[in-house]
Structure 1
Amino acid sequence: MIRIGVDFGGTKIEAAALDAGGQVLARARTASPGSYDASLTAVGDLVAEVERLAGVTGASLGVGIPGSPSPASGLIRNANTTHLNDRPLQVDLERVLGRPIRLANDANCFVLSEAVDGAGADAYVVFGVIIGTGCGAGLTVGRRVLEGRNAIAGEWGHTPLPWPTPDELPGPACFCGRRNCLESWISGTGFARDHGTGQTGAAIATAALAGEPSAVASLDRYTDRLARGLAVIADILDPDVIVLGGGMSNIEGLYERLPAAISGYAFSDVFTTPVRKAVHGDSSGVRGAAWLWPEPGP
């Protein structure tokens, strides 16, 4: 069984073919063209190239995207790659590719990848978080993505920052039209904005680990805000494991500090949930898209 996954990112589109054991047989990527029609063509070309490299035709195909299809209209909504919004992406891709596809939010693909054979492979309920340019999340139960009745399960980044302090209010404006969204604080972009020097999140984290006082203070605030957001997830879902991906997940100090920080906010006398770094890193999106069809496991 050969599965092909496509990860539809804001700056790149990547496709990969996986065998039944999850090994990557072939991979190809291209820069995102920045327009809808050109993106359809790019996906078609990538799938054809990956099938050529893997020596297969007609493989099953899953696609991970920012945003999600509306259960009411089938049109894409909530995508920060805005040229996808209000478009019948699944219908158009099926026409271009000449086969049925499965389409899912990119954070759902991420968590599915980590639940199948990554950092959450030993867990039943996995909550996965992507903290990069933006903030996305998804959850799996028994290696199945939980999308919810309205297909919005995991839209954690557009919930409010919990227990805001007076200086955190009213909070920054978000592209979704609301204020104080969690994404505005715990994404790499939000981390850099809060620090205020124009440095990248990675540079600030490096400075913090070297002991630079203002960077240390920024990382302390960041850890506290991330812990507050995850404590709400612990209170509602109580997952078996939390998996972090995206650029901010590369800050190794988070994994030592977060469990105790979450415990301080969770409504429990004990908090033992591990917080782990994604095993598959940037490949989790394309791998999870490949696992969409057919579903892995019993």
Structure 2
Amino acid sequence: MTNPHSPVICLDLGGSFIKLGVMSARDALEILDQQPIPADYWAAFCARVSAMIVQHEAHFAPDSPVAISTAGIVAPLTGEMFASNIPAFHQRQLAKELAAALQRPVIVHNDADCFALAEALAGTGKGHKVVLGAILGSGVGGGLVSDGRLVIGQNGLTGEWGHGPITLTEVEIDGSPVRIPRQACPCGQKGCLDTLGGARGMENLHRVLHDERASSTEIITRWQQPEPRAQQTIQAWLQLVSEPLAYSINITGASLVAVGGGLASVTPLIAALNDAVQRCVLRSTPHALVVPGTFAHHGGMMGAALLARQSAGR
């Protein structure tokens, strides 16, 4: 069994880059390197990861495990990876095959789940029994932690509030009803919150409402000025996002939602989302339910490392 106090090698695998870090024996995370990911070829991917670890091996122990956070789904029974944006390991048993290549223990988990675990154990959710991690980045994702452990559901999906035909088809803007047609989602569904709820979704929503292209940063800046069109877009966005989030809170019993992703850095937006959610849940709370997460930038790596610690300590 791996020493639970050994430094942990942390990797964040995205469609463009591999980020490498180390979690020390005192659970402090240090980012060491970032390099382009060979996203199309398994052999090149393994070689790049191996070279990065060797380059920084002074930071690790011989038995240090590799903890990986990545977009995609890990099948609980087989370990098969579903990550269509990274063909190099799509439909491979990533943990098992990479462990053989590196001669080190490897764990792999979804980045939203890892973020949720980091927030529950060491971030804004510390001390809460049930924590929902809500990603509002380019898209919408989530993870669920109960009693300090990730809840791993069917097919590796839990807390995934961004997908499924759940979006409203009508919102109220300045007291008047406005129809919002459901959008086709890359997942194959129609009406997923992911199409209207993340940063790209906010931009999509603004186009639907005003036939105008603007970045999410521009929309939020104009909302804060305030500018009428952006105000209307954010009114609609808050309705679209708050209702499924409140529904998720009612179902899971989460006493805190830690928000990650780029939109989490806009404090007034998350405060407005919290107010909207508090009006929708069955029972509001005196404390904020929806708050920016502590680990906005490296929560996935932190959570993966903490998951490796949990696995080693069993």
TM-score, normalised by the number of residues in structure 1 = 0.90
The CA deviation string for residues 225-284 of structure 1, in whole angstroms up to 9 with x for no partner, is 110121111220120110101011122112322233113322x25344521111121111
> Contact 2:164–2:190 at 8 Å: present in 1 too?
no
Alignment partner of 2:163 out of 158, 162, 168 = 158
> Counterpart in 2 of 1:176?
187
List runs of 5+ in structure 1 lacking aligned partners.
none
Match of 2:200 among 170, 189, 192: 189
Q: What secondary structure is seen at the aligned counterpart in 2 of 1:176?
A: coil
Sort the Cα spacing of 1:80 and 1:221 in 2 relative to 1 into closer, same or farther, 3 A. farther
Q: For 1:290 and 1:269, locate their aligned partners in 2 and report how far apart those are by CA, in whole Å.
A: 35
Give the structure 2 partner of residue 167 of structure 1.
179
1:99 aligns with 2:114: no
Letter of the structure 2 residue corresponding to residue 191 of structure 1: M
Distance in structure 2 (CA, Å) of the matches to 1:164 and 1:11: 34
1:270 aligned to 2:276?
Answer: no
Q: What's the secondary structure of 1:27's corresponding residue? A: strand
Query: What secondary structure does 1:225 align onto?
Result: helix
2:37 pairs with 1:32: yes
- Equivalent AA in structure 1 for residue 180 of structure 2: E
Q: Could you say which residue in structure 1 is the equivalent of 2:63?
A: 58
Please state how far the C-alpha of 1:149 moved relative to its aligned partner.
4.0
Q: Output the amino acid matched with 2:129.
A: Y
Unaligned 5+ segments in structure 2 are 171-177
What is the CA–CA distance in structure 1 between the aligned matches of 2:284 and 2:267, rounded to whole Å? 23
Q: Give the AA of the match of 2:213.
A: G
Match of 1:157, SS state, is: coil
Taking every aligned residue pair, what percent have the same amino acid on both sides? 27
Q: State how far apart, in whole Å, the 2-side matches of 1:36 and 1:155 are.
A: 29
2 CA distance for matches of 1:270 and 1:287?
30
Distance 1:270 1:71, change over 3 A: closer
CA displacement 1:55-113 (0-9 Å, x = unmatched): 53331221112112223543222x35241432222222112211221111110111111
Higher mean alpha-carbon deviation, 202-211 vs 30-39, is at 30-39
RMSD: 2.2
- Pick from 142, 146, 153 the counterpart of residue 141 of structure 1: 146
Task: Specify which of 123, 129, 133 is matched with residue 128 of structure 1.
Answer: 133
Secondary structure, counterpart of 1:94 in structure 2: helix
Separation in 2, partners of 1:163, 1:264 = 17
The residue identity in structure 1 corresponding to 2:195 is S
Measured in 1, the distance between the counterparts of 2:133 and 2:35 equals: 26
Name which of 208, 213, 218 aligns with 2:228: 213
2-side partners of 1:198 and 1:33: how far apart? 33
Higher alpha-carbon Rg:
2
Residue equivalent to 2:263 = 248
Aligned twin of 2:175: none
Structure 1 residues 201 and 178, CA gap change in structure 2 (3 angstroms): same
Match of 1:119 among 81, 104, 124: 124
